[in-house]
Every structure is written in C-alpha cells, then in structure tokens.
C-alpha cells in the first residue's frame, strides 16, 4: 500500500496533474505488485519561491517542470523491482503529461508493515 506525495511548481492544468496520478498508479501496478484500486496519492503545488532544487546535481539537467515523487511503501520489494519502478515512472510520465526524464525525481521511503494504519485505528498489515 504505497502512499505517494508529489510536489511540483504551481500552474499546471488539472489534466496534467491527473496524468501524473494515472502514470504513477500504472507504474506501481506493473512493477511493484500494487493491488487494483490501491491509490493513495496527493499533489502539493508550490509557488516558485517555495520550490528549490539544484538544476545540475549529479549531472542531471533539471528544469522548472521538476516533479518530486516521494513513495512510502513496505520494505518488501527487490532492488530489481525498485529499478523497474523508477524506469517505468519516467517512461510513463514522459508519454503523458510529457515530463522529461530529467525532471522525474523519485524518493522511496521503506517502512515495516506494522507502521501503517489504514483507518479505524487498526494496524491492518501488522499480523500479515
């Protein structure tokens, strides 16, 4: 049950933001064994003065279309699955809404299964 927080500069139309949601969900379904309807994502938009990045860190040429994607997920995936996820996200967001691969920044935060409560004050994954 990944939880995604997407941060980007303000000003993109709703269709652009929805394409990001759709591409991320598809990438997770294809590479991360995410169940159908497991969609928990939020986009936060920032004014230019509240969104900072280095335009060339590690030799990657970023633009103002940079999107930060932080994924919190159970620590159950292999390195190969993680690499496939990053690659597929960049491909799908490149196709629609047209984000350059250089502007797709992904951070994966892994947690133990007992660190989730999906509602009702219950740790649903703790005993699985």
CA dihedral sign, ordered 9, 108, 30, 80: positive
Q: Where are the domains of the chain?
A: 3-115
Predicted confidence band at 116 (pLDDT cuts at 50, 70, 90)?
Answer: confident
DSSP for residue 44: E
Is the distance from CB of 111 to CB of 72 less than 8 angstroms? yes
Q: Say what the pLDDT of residue 1 is.
A: 82
Mean pLDDT of the chain: 96
Place of tokens 């920032």: 46
Grouping H, G, I as helix, E, B as strand and the rest as coil, residue 64 is: coil
Which residues are catalytic, by number? 2
Higher-confidence position of 84 and 112 = 84
Query: Tell me, which fold does domain 3-115 have in CATH?
Result: Macrophage Migration Inhibitory Factor (3.30.429)
Report how far residue 24's alpha carbon sits from residue 71's, in angstroms, rounded to the nearest whole number. 10
For the entire predicted model, the pTM comes to 0.94
Task: Encode pLDDT of 20-59 as tens digits.
Answer: 999 999 999 999 999 999 999 999 999 999 999 999 999 9
């Amino acid at each position: 049950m990944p939880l995604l927080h997407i941060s980007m500069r303000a000003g993109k139309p709703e269709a652009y933001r929805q394409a990001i949601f759709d591409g991320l969900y598809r990438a997770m379904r294809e590479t991360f064994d995410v169940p159908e309807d497991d969609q928990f994502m939020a986009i936060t938009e920032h004014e230019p003065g509240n969104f900072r990045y280095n335009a060339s860190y590690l030799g990657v040429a970023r633009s103002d279309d940079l999107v930060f994607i932080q994924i919190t997920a159970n620590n159950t995936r292999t390195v190969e699955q993680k690499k496939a996820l990053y690659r597929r996200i960049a491909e799908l967001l490149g196709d629609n809404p047209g984000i350059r691969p250089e502007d797709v920044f992904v951070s994966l935060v892994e947690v133990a299964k007992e660190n989730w409560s999906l509602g009702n004050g219950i740790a649903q994954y703790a005993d699985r």
